[in-house]
């Protein structure tokens, strides 16, 4: 006769209403422990957090009764995409998706059908729709609380914990890889795991101080605690009842506007202007270049030698940084360009996404220079300006992935 197995914990719950931690066992019994100091702020819209160790997922329930399921990273597994295609939606593309799925406003049928198809593919684990810090930046500033909640809810429900790594960190990784490649240490200068479940990836450590678990935790428990804290924080911040107030006008708007105006006044051909734009970009990247060279182990003589050999050619081989360079050139070469505070956000995030995603959907004024840059760099990302157009091609890619190429 086989020995009966001991009961084990199948679910851990933080219950805001009862201010308790609930442990549910495999035999259905529960144990409750008072939380003491509540982790929920007064403006939080979270009601309960459920964690299942066996399923490796987090389920958040809001005060309005909505569910948000997040996949969690596994410490001993690298790529958890499992052949899923990455579809990156620009902020303005999330709006019609949210309006269609939340039923908050009339949406054209083709956009509604596209939104439902994307949601179905996410549910079937065929694609991921990653969230970025840019989405958080734009969504949490919205002054209309109900619309902000529904848009944030949609992004969270469809991203399912998948994030695009901080583009500034991706840039630093690319530059570090470029220098290591120049030294012959590596062959691939692409940044790793740009789309990831790894905790605290939306912002690099230079822009965010991550949670540190107690020192007596095991390696596995510490990783699990960091992952849960990161995931629950991202959900909580996106849905908080208070908006994030917009900050002051960033200084880069004025500096880019002044440079564009100055460039418009020069009687140069396009190649001369491109070299001037490259010099402008090179100055902006000085700190990243210096830190990347140091991390790669370049000596001052190595740096001097590298700088003498057309350094911008090296940058053109970097997927995200190279695309950003192409978009910056396009903006500055366009006479009469007026710079807005969101332009840099769009360029930084879209160039990173298009450098590594399978598909990107964005508005027209960004799509055209982005697609041109993708062609110039020889990347394979497909860029669209309409959800309905993107869904058709994504569907074809999924069909080919399932059945393989058709016989000639």
Domain closes at, from 185, 212, 239:
239
The helix/strand/coil state of 44 is: coil
Instruction: Quote the tokens at residue 145.
Output: 């609380």
255 and 300 in a single domain? The answer is yes
Instruction: Quote the tokens at residue 159.
Output: 């991203």
Supply the pLDDT for residue 121.
98
Instruction: Quote the tokens at residue 399.
Output: 């069909």
Q: Which helix (H) or strand (E) holds 37?
A: none
180 and 260 in a single domain? The answer is yes
Instruction: Quote the tokens at residue 15.
Output: 């219950």
* Cα(127)–Cα(118) distance, integer angstroms: 8
Tell me, yes or no, whether 263 lies in a domain: yes
275 and 385 in a single domain? The answer is yes
Strand partners, 57: 52, 71
* Cα(302)–Cα(304) distance, integer angstroms: 5
* Cα(24)–Cα(86) distance, integer angstroms: 35
Supply the pLDDT for residue 348.
94
**CA angle (7, 69, 211) in 5-degree steps:** 85
Tell me, yes or no, whether 30 lies in a domain: no
153 and 258 in a single domain? The answer is no
315 and 232 in a single domain? The answer is no
- DSSP secondary structure letter of residue 78: S
- DSSP secondary structure letter of residue 228: H
226 and 344 in a single domain? The answer is no
Sequence-ordered list of residues with C-beta below 8 angstroms from that of 46, at least 6 positions apart, any chain: 16, 40, 60, 61, 62, 63, 232, 235, 236, 239
Sequence-ordered list of residues with C-beta below 8 angstroms from that of 254, at least 6 positions apart, any chain: none
Domain closes at, from 184, 206, 239:
239
Tell me, yes or no, whether 14 lies in a domain: no
Residue 84's nearest CA partner among 123, 136, 54 is 123
146 and 174 in a single domain? The answer is no
Tell me, yes or no, whether 11 lies in a domain: no
Phi/psi at 326 (nearest 5 deg)? -65, -40
Are residues 48 and 61 in contact, defined by beta-carbon separation less than 8 angstroms? yes
Supply the pLDDT for residue 394.
98
Q: List the beta strands (DSSP E) in 63-135.
A: 67-71, 85-89, 127-128
Give burial (CB, 10 Å; 0-12/13-18/19+) of 4.
exposed
302 and 335 in a single domain? The answer is yes
Instruction: Quote the tokens at residue 309.
Output: 């050999």
51 and 172 in a single domain? The answer is no
Q: How many other β-carbons are positioned within 10 Å of the β-carbon of residue 275?
A: 12
**CA angle (187, 190, 196) in 5-degree steps:** 135
* Cα(291)–Cα(288) distance, integer angstroms: 5
* Cα(88)–Cα(374) distance, integer angstroms: 15
Q: How many other β-carbons are positioned within 10 Å of the β-carbon of residue 55?
A: 14
Tell me, yes or no, whether 285 lies in a domain: yes
321 and 335 in a single domain? The answer is yes
306 and 361 in a single domain? The answer is yes
Tell me, yes or no, whether 5 lies in a domain: no
- DSSP secondary structure letter of residue 202: S
Tell me, yes or no, whether 281 lies in a domain: yes
Range of the domain at 181: 167-193+248-403
* Cα(227)–Cα(224) distance, integer angstroms: 5
Domain closes at, from 207, 239, 271:
239
Are residues 95 and 165 in contact, defined by beta-carbon separation less than 8 angstroms? no
Tell me, yes or no, whether 116 lies in a domain: yes
pLDDT tens string, the chain, 408 residues long: the values are 455 678 888 899 999 999 999 999 888 888 899 888 888 899 999 999 999 988 889 999 999 999 999 999 988 766 788 899 999 999 999 999 999 998 877 788 999 999 999 999 999 999 999 999 999 999 999 999 999 999 999 999 999 999 999 999 999 999 998 888 888 876 665 666 899 999 999 998 777 777 888 889 999 999 999 999 999 999 999 999 999 888 777 788 899 999 999 999 999 999 999 999 999 999 999 999 999 999 989 888 888 888 887 778 788 889 999 999 999 999 999 999 999 888 888 999 999 999 999 999 999 889 999 999 999 999 999 999 999 999 999 999 999 988 765 444
Phi/psi at 160 (nearest 5 deg)? 55, 35
Number of domains forming the structure of the chain: 2
Residue with tokens 């070299």: 275
* Cα(138)–Cα(157) distance, integer angstroms: 17
152 and 225 in a single domain? The answer is yes
């Amino acid at each position: 006769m086989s020995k009966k197995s001991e009961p084990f914990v199948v679910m851990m719950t933080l219950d805001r209403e009862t201010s308790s931690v609930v442990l549910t066992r495999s035999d259905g019994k529960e144990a409750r422990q008072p939380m003491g100091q509540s982790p929920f702020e007064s403006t939080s819209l979270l009601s309960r957090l459920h964690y299942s160790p066996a399923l490796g997922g987090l389920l958040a329930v809001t005060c309005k009764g909505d569910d948000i399921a997040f996949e969690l990273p596994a410490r001993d597994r690298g790529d958890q995409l499992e052949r899923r295609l990455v579809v990156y939606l620009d902020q303005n593309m999330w709006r019609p998706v949210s309006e269609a799925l939340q039923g908050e406003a009339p949406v054209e049928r083709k956009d509604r059908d596209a939104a439902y198809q994307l949601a179905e593919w996410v549910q079937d684990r065929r694609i991921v729709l990653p969230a970025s810090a840019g989405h958080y930046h734009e969504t949490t500033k919205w002054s209309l609380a109900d619309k902000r909640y529904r848009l944030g809810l949609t992004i969270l429900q469809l991203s399912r914990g998948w994030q695009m790594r901080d583009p500034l960190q991706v840039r630093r990784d690319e530059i570090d890889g470029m220098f290591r490649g120049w030294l012959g240490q590596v062959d691939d200068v692409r940044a790793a795991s740009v789309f990831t479940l790894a905790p605290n990836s939306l912002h690099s450590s230079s822009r965010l101080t991550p949670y540190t678990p107690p020192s007596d935790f095991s390696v596995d428990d510490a990783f699990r605690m960091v992952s849960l804290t990161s995931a629950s924080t991202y959900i909580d911040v996106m849905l908080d009842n208070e908006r994030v107030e917009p900050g002051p006008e960033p200084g880069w708007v004025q500096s880019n506007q002044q440079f564009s105006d100055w460039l418009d006044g020069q009687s140069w051909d396009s190649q001369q202007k491109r070299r001037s734009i490259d010099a402008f970009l090179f100055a902006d990247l000085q700190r990243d270049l210096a830190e990347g060279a140091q991390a790669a182990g370049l000596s001052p003589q190595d740096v001097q030698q590298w700088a003498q050999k057309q350094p911008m050619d090296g940058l053109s081989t970097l997927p995200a940084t190279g695309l950003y360079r192409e978009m910056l050139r396009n903006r500055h070469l366009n006479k009469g360009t007026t710079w807005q505070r969101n332009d840099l956000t769009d360029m930084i995030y879209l160039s990173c996404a298009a450098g590594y995603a399978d598909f990107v959907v964005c508005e027209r004024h960004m799509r055209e220079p982005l697609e041109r840059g993708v062609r110039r760099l020889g990347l394979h990302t497909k860029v669209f300006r309409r959800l309905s157009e993107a869904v058709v091609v994504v569907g074809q890619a999924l069909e080919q992935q399932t059945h393989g190429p058709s016989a000639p």
